[in-house]
A and B are shown apart, each in its own frame.
Chain A
């Protein structure tokens, strides 16, 4: 995996969720991992495992797949860490690996077909279970019914609170494409949620 120049926009981007487990910075740990120090791997794993697992789970809406993707992400991190030239962009690099692993596993599970402008929902006719009454459950089910590409931009924007540009770097799309997908996801969700929140 090679790094693009645009990754530099992630420099010094503080993590929203991870509190540092120890005093060592990501940069120090990445350099130690490059030298083959096992403790560095453990520290990075402990620091990022919950974020990456949560991200994989939100993207896939499948616990087993999220576990496999998280596992593969950290093993790939260990194997390819020497290709990371600019250690300051480690976090976004890790998220890109996680995203690719989720899509790889989703593709194995079921051929998703190409993303089209019209398809927002993962099923042709997604029926949200009517028995659920809790607001959070309804929203969760609606979000999970979105196609992964739409869940992805929503998660990266709303949960990870990344900018359009940062999302574009992770997904490999243009900024306008990210914006458009986010818009479609929000509008589709609004239509789906309307009957429950009148």
Chain B
């Protein structure tokens, strides 16, 4: 169990996560423990191995395959690609602003709706009687203005 703990400290040391006190404790243990020292040595060796590794060269045949497949993909309609950014674009409206706009629209609709939907004024019986007594030419002119 004690070795398990020190082996975890080795792991932390490799990843540069040990504080000074832990480092002192670890190296004191390493001076007496072959097993933990071996893990430390091996981990450092593996690290050096990876650091010396170079990026692999990509085979020319792979380049050709990728470009061929990519061309086949782009041969398909590009409409989706053109529209996609628009579809995924986020339109950010702050909540208070959105709420204010909604309230203004509501108030506006309450104010203007009676004007828009007001029924035309009906003539009273007296007005109809007066209208019927008017000369025909005048009645025609009145109807034109109505």
Q: Evaluate contact between B59 and A186: CB separation under 8 angstroms.
A: no
Nearest residue (CB) in A for B14 is A186
Interface string of A148-160 (1 = CB under 8 A from B): 0000001101110
Partner of A85, one of B51, B58, B69, B88: B88
Majority secondary structure of chain B interface residues (helix, strand, loop or mixed): helix
Complex contacts, A183 vs chain B, CB 8 Å: 7-8, 11
How far does the alpha carbon of A23 sit from the alpha carbon of B69 in the complex, in Å? 26
Q: Evaluate contact between B82 and A36: CB separation under 8 angstroms.
A: yes
How far does the alpha carbon of A122 sit from the alpha carbon of B53 in the complex, in Å? 22
With known contacts A38-B74, A54-B56, A197–B41 Cβ distance under 8 A: yes
Q: How many A-B residue pairs have CB under 8 A?
A: 117
Task: Tally chain A residues at the interface, Cβ within 8 Å.
Answer: 45
Q: Evaluate contact between A159 and B81: CB separation under 8 angstroms.
A: no
Does A194 touch B at the CB level, under 8 Å?
yes
How far does the alpha carbon of A77 sit from the alpha carbon of B59 in the complex, in Å? 20
Query: Closest CB-CB distance, A102 to chain B, in whole Å?
Result: 14
With known contacts A34-B84, A82-B80, A187–B39 Cβ distance under 8 A: yes
Nearest residue (CB) in B for A159 is B50
How far does the alpha carbon of A17 sit from the alpha carbon of B85 in the complex, in Å? 30
Interface residues in chain B, defined as those with a beta carbon under 8 Å from any beta carbon in chain A: 7-8, 10-11, 14-15, 38-39, 41-43, 45-47, 49-53, 55-59, 61-63, 65-67, 69-71, 73-74, 78, 80-82, 84-85, 88
